[in-house]
Amino acid sequence: MRPTWCDIDLDAVRHNVGVLDALAGEAALCAVVKADGYRHGAVPVARAAVEAGASWLAVALVEEAAELRAAGLDAPILMLSEPQAGDMPGVAELGGVRPTVYSEAGIDAFAAAAPGASVHLKVDTGMHRVGAAPADATDLARRALGAGLVLEGVFTHFAVADAPADPFTGVQIGRFDAVLAELAEHGVHPELVHLANTAGLITSPGARRSLVRAGIGIYGVSPSPELAAACAGLGLRPAARLRSEVRHVHVVEAGEGVSYGRRWRAGEPTRLATVPIGYADGITRAWWDGGSVLVGGRRRPIRGVVTMDQLVVEVDGDVAIGDEVVLLGSQGDESISAEEVAASLDTITYEVLVSLGARVPRRH
């Protein structure tokens, strides 16, 4: 078998959930385990999160909620977007899954499928992705109540909470509070009010209402470079460690090119090691330009573009076939973080994590 896998430290997940739950204070913690737990494994991560104090779980898809229920997880599950009307009966059958609603069609479909069940109304305060317009929120809330549903929660989602200096988060909070005030005027008082994601939990204490939705933080990764120091100060621990092994060692002469396009050429005789992991596994092809891996506790630069199944690194005579290669995580005194990889690729840590391919086995 290919000697490539990703170790997932569930003790780190439990630790991170405990840290964020303590930071949330009186607010309950909802662990976001969509996208297969940010590719850490939704079911084992969800179990660890609940064991550590998470009261809720959140997913994006009906299929993700069904997977958690099939695994025996009975915590309340929030679906973060409104399911299609035709999917509402399936949501109802899962039991205890709260769909997000923000349309008349969605409300009516779920009311028909699950009379008396609970829903959460999402308000679009400026993300402009999905959600009810603030002007429509009260009418939709009253429609849900009139249809016999329980309006358990009302929430919104921040657009720039990972940029602490951006004043727009405050604008969103103001718009949301205006919606809550209008709902109260009509006698609507939802049990759960939530705004904060991981970034909002850290940067906006006023957004820690009755529930917080922690996603990337439970995996021990910072939402943005601006929050890296804050996450480190909280003691969050990365849960994923991606590793492989050296499977081939050879020397190329000066002037020889390496990999497709021969975009890197040796300036002198150079010892190279081939590692059986590539862009089919989530190691972005462009990472060759400035990227490195760890072998023997030292950084080794990637040479030539990353290919579908393999990549090549420059090594010295101390490296041999069978040596461990770490692409994400620590080895000796060195480490490569998701934050570093994201910066190298001009992307975000979320994408680095969820790009890890399904054909890389996870070992929990």
> Which tens digit of pLDDT belongs to each residue from 260-279?
999 999 999 999 999 999 99
Alpha-carbon span 199 to 191, nearest angstrom: 23
Q: What pLDDT, on a 0 to 100 scale, did the predictor assign at position 17?
A: 98
> Which tens digit of pLDDT belongs to each residue from 300-330?
999 999 999 999 999 999 999 999 999 999 9
CB 121 within 8 A of CB 154: yes
Give the residue numbers marked as catalytic.
34, 260
Q: What pLDDT, on a 0 to 100 scale, did the predictor assign at position 1?
A: 86
> Which tens digit of pLDDT belongs to each residue from 206-249?
999 999 999 999 999 999 999 999 999 999 999 999 999 999 99
Residue 207's nearest CA partner among 223, 193, 192 is 193
Alpha-carbon span 354 to 330, nearest angstrom: 19
Question: Can you say how many angstroms the Cα of residue 292 is from the centroid of all Cα atoms in its chain?
Answer: 23
Which strand (E) or helix (H) includes residue 141? helix 134-146
CB 58 within 8 A of CB 35: no
Domains of the chain: 10-222 (3.20.20.10), 240-336 (2.40.37.10)
The single residue listed with the structure tokens 């002037």 is 255
Alpha-carbon span 1 to 343, nearest angstrom: 32
φ/ψ of 188, rounded to 5, equals -105, 115
CB 83 within 8 A of CB 106: yes
Q: Which amino acid is at 142?
A: R
pTM of the model: 0.96
Q: What pLDDT, on a 0 to 100 scale, did the predictor assign at position 103?
A: 98
Residue 194's nearest CA partner among 217, 212, 177, 216 is 212
φ/ψ of 255, rounded to 5, equals 90, -10
Q: Which amino acid is at 125?
A: T
Average pLDDT over every residue of 343-360: 95
Alpha-carbon span 105 to 110, nearest angstrom: 9
The single residue listed with the structure tokens 């080895």 is 331
Interior angle at CA 157, CA 114 and CA 226, nearest 5: 150
> Which tens digit of pLDDT belongs to each residue from 95-147?
999 999 999 999 999 999 999 999 999 999 999 999 999 999 999 999 999 99
To 10 degrees, the CA torsion angle through 240, 156, 58, 221?
A: 10
Instruction: Enter the tokens of residue 306.
Output: 């990353």
Average pLDDT over every residue of 333-352: 95
Dmax over CA atoms of the chain, in Å, equals: 78
